[in-house]
Structure 1
């Protein structure tokens, strides 16, 4: 019996049916077996050049605290837990898991035992713990944010400026960002922590509780505890916050040197994705709202709390990281190295040993930032605040703090010499950069030798010469300065009559005051 031959079309149809059937069976199997789906996606995941990712850790574990400054990474990850919807997974082929570890010691233990690959830290307080981590060769790999209102000092009724804190009880968690903030704030008013009564507490949350129980006069707290303290303590106020003290508390991520060396490309992908996430949040309120939902679930906090937490920081962009790591030669603001070195000295001077804190060059890696290319305005560094023109109200407004710097001028002259410039750089410029959103009132003062009107004119020229130097040498905005010439009219207490050479010398001074708009 003759057998019927299949036509070419029939053969094609049969092959199509077989392939369709196989596709149906595989799809059904994968749908009902998530592990199989994950393995298939892992095997077929590609990087941006179309190559299979090899040598990448399946999941990077990152230790964080309840804070809004890490939102860029959590938003890009589409959540806190490792998941296949994450853009880290879709774009780079690996997952990211955020572990919330609010207990400081527990977070450091997790870093040491390898439970987390990256841990949070703040550069201001990091010098106090570097020695204890030395065997792991910690490396600062990128900056996540600057605190911009997330840290504040609340004060009781009657405390209206920093000098009013003298002799008062202040609750603070030692060797933390809160402590760093207090150190800078007191220095801006010619004070140290020895001029106040420190009440040491375990955390900023405990500091807020101490204030609300009326056991201290002031406390350094985190947002939103500042608002809660003001609401619950009659007459209380936020004395100052990092809205003005813009460049004191910098959140960074730290990894072990061995991990950096073995996972450098993966960490660069992590950094790139994180920066893309941060740029999208900085440029879109709707994206911030989406991120707030993610944080609300991951932190078990109200959504409004999380939205405010995101707005209380400056999410660092790629441009900000280039500035932070000193990769932008035209940048004249605060770098990570500046802050680390200054705080190493400040904590050591207060009796907290930082002798084991290694140099910044050995502690940081610029490679991730330096090898990354991200273009567009959203990735640019933050610009300086633009101040409005000075008016009479600002000239008379009470200052938050005042720092006296004795700058010597030759008789009848107002030009700064090199010694005066160095004095300004050492004693005031760091404060001016740290409190970048506050205005600076510069008041020139003289003794009573000579004509009063001439002294007033001369003292104003001297104050203006200081402002001109800060504007030209350190690129500070012109409208930031409030210039006053007091002549002999504001002598220091006890030297009102200029009764001797020492008093005359004290009265020939320049006062720098921080004034909040």
Structure 2
């Protein structure tokens, strides 16, 4: 989701050396040449200049104070950033101003002032100082800020999910990078300590690649990252936001540019969750206001669904953007109603790895490995599901169902399935099958439940993507059978092909049993026979399944 980075100022040159005076403006060099070979830069990025910065920790929270509240004119100061996901609260409040004529919050006994604070560090300090009653953020960003806020006694309490980013964030790569695995050894531009940072760290972790195997070049903003990528051909990828991720890869706007989308949150649809949190003292003192905010925002979900053009106009007034641009922004996020919030807050993490606890733990995991978090705040200290549970119990907003996805049957031959550039991830998963068997037997391989759980988690996280399961076999006897003659080899090759297909189908069947609400059309299984070994010395490593996460255009 768009928003600034949680970093202070300062900077380094792209090569890593210290620079007098701090940050370094980037862009085309004098005379029109561009770094990385003199090719013309890509066009159409939101920002034409970029500023590189060195690796930095999360910005310090510098202020602490009591919140302000006037009982005779109760007004919630609710900061937001420029992002489509805030459409429901903008709709519910009938704009940004406190006391807007059509605000639904009036019936709950208070006003709401939506205050535009695009910098998350500034938003955190407004929250800590008492200037604001709430804090905006993606859940991964709040996981980064929570340790500092806890130190000053202001551990945020998250009451509601606003949206999933579903198309607003993405990874753009140069020609020749086919999947996440190909990023190893490459240079990636991004805004650190932001949703972009979490997104790429999560992708790398899911592919089994260490962040140390790539080179990050950090910019002060995500749009700066796309400008750096556009102008410097030595940068192989960037993590940025719409519209830049689509402009850079548009063949009409950048003919011959060679950039393509590797992944967006349209496929990684349960990675970046936008939420809002309240100060713990304010939530304790005014539970009725917290409940009114949650209810009002759910009403805003309905208003947005019924009249998106009106909401886009309200967003345009507050953001200072053209109305048509705001209409386009609305497609970048999926607003989460009560059904989605029930699934996010109230489901068991063992069954739903992309619920609140699962998403929080995922952010802590990748940021701890990266070195950005040392002492994490447990999810249970931040999560407050009381209002969501109350609304579910009373049967409110029953029409707001949890998101369900449908997939068209995959009509494609195996050769094109194997060749595609739409792979996001290709993850080998080792499953020990009995010789010439395809049933999943935990007694034979005790790790099977764990492997299936790992595949299920990938399926949940990349809920907008198609899942292809490839079955493979032990290749140790291939040459021995070939020596028996062409006819015998053909017979055995067919048998091995069928065995690999049955193994892939066994995994597909197990996944559908574990996720009964998933559309079966999403999962496609086939066998490679002997044709896809990954180790010619240790043939037992070839007895496996490969799980591929495929973008759906």
Is 1:379–2:400 an aligned residue pair? yes
Q: 2:360 aligns with which of 318, 340, 346?
A: 340
The CA RMSD measured in Å over matched residues stands at 2.3
1:250 alignment partner in structure 2: 273
| Secondary structure of 2:408 counterpart | coil
Which of 393, 396, 401 in structure 1 is aligned with 2:425?
A: 401
On the 8 A contact 2:475/2:533 being kept in 1, the answer is: no
Determine the structure 1 residue equivalent to 2:309. 289
How far did residue 189 of structure 1 move? Answer: 3.3
| CA pair 381-289 structure 1, distance change in 2 beyond 3 A | same
Deviations 1:49-99 (Å, cap 9, x if unpaired)?
xxxxx9686110111111010110111111011124132344222110111
Q: 1:378 Cα shift? A: 3.8
Q: Verify: 1:238 aligned to 2:261, yes or no.
A: yes
Q: Distance in 2 between matches of 1:189 and 1:364?
A: 29
Cα distance per residue 1:334-384 (max 9 Å; x no partner):
2111111122112111222242x222122111112122245456422212x
Partner of 1:22: none
Residue 323 of structure 1 deviates from its aligned partner by 0.9
Whether 1:365 and 2:384 are equivalent positions in the alignment is yes
After TM superposition, the structure 1 stretch with the greater mean CA deviation from structure 2, 473-482 or 147-156, is: 473-482
Q: Pick from 216, 226, 237: which aligns with 1:218?
A: 237
Q: List aligned pairs for 1:414-429, cutoff 5 A.
A: 414-418=438-442, 419-429=446-456
Between stretches 394-403 and 207-216, larger displacement belongs to 394-403
1:515 aligned residue? 550
Which stretch of the first structure deviates more once superposed, 155-164 or 191-200?
155-164
Q: How many residues align?
A: 452
2:534 is aligned with 1:483 = no
* Cα distance, 1:375–1:187 mapped onto 2, change above 3 Å: same
Please tell me whether the aligned partners of residues 338 and 397 of structure 2 are also in contact (alpha carbons under 8 angstroms): no
Written as runs of structure 1 = structure 2, the 5 A alignment for 1:314-353 is 314-326=334-346, 332=352, 334-353=354-373
Partner of 1:28: none
2:172 to 154, 179, 182: 154
Q: Does the 8 Å CA contact 2:185/2:215 hold for their aligned counterparts?
A: yes
**Any idea what SS the aligned residue of 2:249 has?**
helix
Q: Does 1:76 align with 2:99?
A: no
TM-score, length basis structure 1: 0.82
Q: Could you tell me whether the CA contact under 8 Å between 2:353 and 2:359 is conserved in 1?
A: no
Question: Given that residues 190 and 222 in structure 2 are in contact (C-alpha distance below 8 angstroms), is that contact kept between their aligned partners in structure 1?
Answer: yes
CA distance in structure 2 between the partners assigned to 1:275 and 1:395 by the alignment: 46
Are residues 86 and 350 of structure 1, via their aligned partners in 2, closer, same or farther at CA, if it must alter by over 3 Å?
same
CA distance in 1, matches of 2:303, 2:413: 38
Aligned to 2:63: none
CA distance in 2, matches of 1:386, 1:150: 21
Change (3 A) 1:393 1:297: farther
**Closer, same or farther: CA 197–329 of 1 in aligned 2, 3 Å:** closer
Cα deviation code 1:96-143 (max 9, x no counterpart): 011111112111111110111111111123322211110212111111
- TM-score, normalised to structure 2, is 0.77
C-alpha distance in structure 2 between counterparts of 1:279 and 1:330, whole Å: 31
Query: Structure 1 residues 57, 254: CA separation in 2 closer, same or farther (over 3 Å shift)?
Result: farther
Pairwise CA distance, 1:318: 1.1
- The residue number in structure 2 matching 1:165 is 183
Give the Cα–Cα distance (whole angstroms) in 2 for the partners of residues 207 and 318 of structure 1: 35
- Report the counterpart of residue 269 of structure 1 in structure 2: 292
Q: Is the 8 A contact 1:441 1:513 kept in 2?
A: yes
- Three-state SS of the structure 2 residue aligned to 1:247 is coil
Query: Do the aligned residues in 1 keep the contact of 2:471 with 2:501 (CA within 8 Å)?
Result: yes
| CA displacement at 1:193 relative to structure 2 | 2.1
In 1, Cα distance between equivalents of 2:377 and 2:544:
38
Query: Structure 2, unaligned stretches of length 5 or more?
Result: 1-69, 478-491
What SS class does the counterpart of residue 261 from structure 2 fall into?
strand
3-state DSSP of counterpart to 2:449: helix
What is the CA-CA distance between 1:332 and the residue it aligns to? 4.3
> Residue 402 of structure 1 contacts residue 511 of structure 1 at CA under 8 Å; is this kept in 2?
yes
Moved more, 426-435 or 387-396: 387-396
Shift of 1:185: 2.3
Matched, 1:443 2:470: yes
Match of 1:91 in 2: 107
Asked if residue 474 in structure 1 is aligned to residue 515 in structure 2, the reply is yes
* Distance in 1 of aligned mates of 2:198 and 2:381: 23
The alpha-carbon distance between structure 1 residues 374 and 315, as it changes in their structure 2 partners (threshold 3 A), is farther
Tell me the distance in 2 between the aligned counterparts of 1:289 and 1:457.
54
Deviations 1:405-438 (A, max 9, x none): 1111121221223334333245332221111111
Compare CA radii of gyration and give the structure with the larger one: 1
CA distance 1:302–1:331, shift in 2 (3 Å): farther
